[in-house]
Amino acid sequence: MNKGFVRILLGLLFYGVLSTISAQSVETTMVNTGKRPVVLVTNKETPEKGINKLRLKCDVIFPENHPATRDEILELAGQVDGIMWVGHMLLNGEVLDRGGSRLKAISTMSAGMDYVDIDEFRKRKFPLGYTPIVLNDAVADSAIGLMIAAGRRFHEGRLAIDQSQWTGGPQWMLGQDIKGSTVGIIGMGGIGQTIARRLKGFEIGQLLYTGRRPKPEAEALGAKMVPQAELLQESDYIFIAVPLTNETHHLINESALAKMKRTAVLVNVARGDIVDQKALVAALKNGTIFAAGLDVTTPEPLPADDELLSLPNAVVIPHLGSATVQTRDNMAEIAALNVLAGIAGTPMFSPYPY
């Protein structure tokens, strides 16, 4: 069947699910409260698609400032029934305390939840939603882009042009091959698997992954689970696609980098703190590894004078993984549906499994 057609069919199905669920939430909400609930959306630039979903059944308020201050958000939290939490500001018990008994539900507009104090939500059994899955394709696309850009020295090549150093020649600016290479994916969740599917077209040699337990989906993609040390030693390209937790904090440190091939390319589309950035800078400077492609850094935003940005073999982009029009629209719509369902006391479209 035509791929475009399948895409449209899936899109319609997805939209159908969204509409059905929101229709259910409407009735419950309206019947239960008798007046329109109020929802705080913490960022004024949240896509209209999501805001409009909320407005069908709720009044929507925003902080005055852009970006909003924490004080402002805490102040408004006490005046609303639900919050759409847009951005990576710490979401913790303080927000729930300030929300008080009126606040019924919160949904983030992200897949990674490292900025959320999950324990606090679990303790209070407070309805919490998030937006995984819809961003897998966009994030995987940017991972592949970083793989090629770093492996083929796009940034260094551009710098050479800027500095009138375009010499050319058969040995100039040579990069690493992808065909036949060994690729290691740290974290074979939705994003890791989507990267693996993208790689099918590149005729890579071997696909390795690490994780807590073997995943049938990964094996179906021809991936082989190995201990982390083996993945680090064998891989020509290494993708980081795990959530940031206490266990994965600085997972890629000096010893991990020392295990990698000198020709290795490291790609991080997860969270900056999974990599010990100081150790990475050292490794990129002295040839411990070949190059890195980073969508995420420590801190964010990265200051313009950070040493990482002075390295020709570091391709750095400003956390653009899910930044496409369609993806952000979908994320906003799902977050809105989560909040509506939470306020109505019904199961969220995409609850966080705490």
Residues serving a catalytic function are 319
Q: Which is nearer to ligand NAG, 59 or 119 (CB)?
A: 119
If one asks whether residue 122 binds ligand NAG (CB under 6 A), the answer comes out as no
- How far from the centroid of its chain's Cα atoms is residue 260's Cα? 25
Measured between alpha carbons, how far is 30 from 164 in angstroms, rounded to an integer?
66
Q: Say which DSSP state 191 is in.
A: H
If one asks whether residue 227 binds ligand NAG (CB under 6 A), the answer comes out as no
Q: Which is nearer to ligand NAG, 167 or 246 (CB)?
A: 246
**Interaction with ligand NAG in 240-279: which residues (CB under 6 A)?**
246, 253-256, 258
If one asks whether residue 353 binds ligand NAG (CB under 6 A), the answer comes out as no
Candidate list 288, 297, 327, 350; residue touching ligand NAG; CB under 6 A = 288
Q: Which is nearer to ligand NAG, 148 or 275 (CB)?
A: 275
Q: Say which DSSP state 100 is in.
A: T
Measured between alpha carbons, how far is 79 from 214 in angstroms, rounded to an integer?
46
Measured between alpha carbons, how far is 195 from 211 in angstroms, rounded to an integer?
15
State the minimum distance, in angstroms, from the CB of residue 246 to ligand NAG: 4
Candidate list 101, 163, 171, 286; residue touching ligand NAG; CB under 6 A = 286
State the minimum distance, in angstroms, from the CB of residue 239 to ligand NAG: 19
State the minimum distance, in angstroms, from the CB of residue 202 to ligand NAG: 29
Structure tokens at 335: 């977050």
Structure tokens at 40: 């705080």
Q: Say which DSSP state 242 is in.
A: P
Tokens 């029009």, residue? 325
Instruction: Give the range of 48-56, 96-104, 126-134, 280-288 binding ligand NAG by CB under 6 A.
Output: 280-288
For residues 179 and 147, the answer to whether their CB atoms sit within 8 Å is no
Q: Which is nearer to ligand NAG, 178 or 264 (CB)?
A: 264
For residues 312 and 159, the answer to whether their CB atoms sit within 8 Å is yes
Q: Which is nearer to ligand NAG, 224 or 250 (CB)?
A: 250
Does an H or E element contain 186, and which?
strand 182-186
State the minimum distance, in angstroms, from the CB of residue 253 to ligand NAG: 4
State the minimum distance, in angstroms, from the CB of residue 227 to ligand NAG: 12
State the minimum distance, in angstroms, from the CB of residue 244 to ligand NAG: 11
If one asks whether residue 287 binds ligand NAG (CB under 6 A), the answer comes out as yes
Does an H or E element contain 240, and which?
strand 237-240
Measured between alpha carbons, how far is 137 from 44 in angstroms, rounded to an integer?
25
For residues 210 and 231, the answer to whether their CB atoms sit within 8 Å is yes
Q: Which is nearer to ligand NAG, 6 or 229 (CB)?
A: 229
For residues 335 and 49, the answer to whether their CB atoms sit within 8 Å is no
State the minimum distance, in angstroms, from the CB of residue 255 to ligand NAG: 4
Q: Which is nearer to ligand NAG, 7 or 285 (CB)?
A: 285
If one asks whether residue 229 binds ligand NAG (CB under 6 A), the answer comes out as no
3-state secondary structure of 220: helix
For residues 227 and 201, the answer to whether their CB atoms sit within 8 Å is no
- φ, ψ for residue 224, nearest 5 deg: -120, 125
By CB under 6 A, name the binding residues for ligand NAG.
Answer: 246, 253-256, 258, 282, 286-288
